[in-house]
Amino acid sequence: MAYVNTQKVDDGIFEITFFNEAQNSLPSEILVQLSEAIRSAGLNPDVKVIILKSAGDRTFCAGASFTELLSIIDFETGKKFFSGFAHVINAIRTCGKIVIGRVQGKAIGGGVGIAAAVDYCLATTQASIKLSELTIGIGPFVVGPAVERKLGLSAFSQLTLNASEFYSPQWGKERGLFVDVFETVEVMDAAILDLAKRLASYNAEALSNLKKIFWEGTEDWDKLLLERAAISGKLVLSDFTKNQLTAVDSKK
Residue 3 is predicted with a pLDDT of 96
Alpha carbon separation from 209 to 41, 56, 97, 123, 244 (Å, rounded): 17, 34, 10, 26, 45
Residue 14 is predicted with a pLDDT of 97
Confidence of residue 249 (pLDDT cuts 50, 70, 90): low
Q: Which fold has domain 2-184?
A: 2-enoyl-CoA Hydratase; Chain A, domain 1 (3.90.226)
Residue in 32, 49, 27 with CA at minimum distance from that of residue 206: 49
Domain ranges for the chain: 2-184
Confidence of residue 6 (pLDDT cuts 50, 70, 90): very high
Q: Is the pLDDT of residue 187 over 80?
A: yes
Q: What is the pTM of this model?
A: 0.96
Task: Point out the least confidently predicted range of 10-14, 46-50, 94-98, 248-252.
Answer: 248-252
Residue 246 is predicted with a pLDDT of 85
Looking at every residue in the chain, the average pLDDT score rounds to: 96
Distance, C-alpha 141 to centroid of its chain: 13
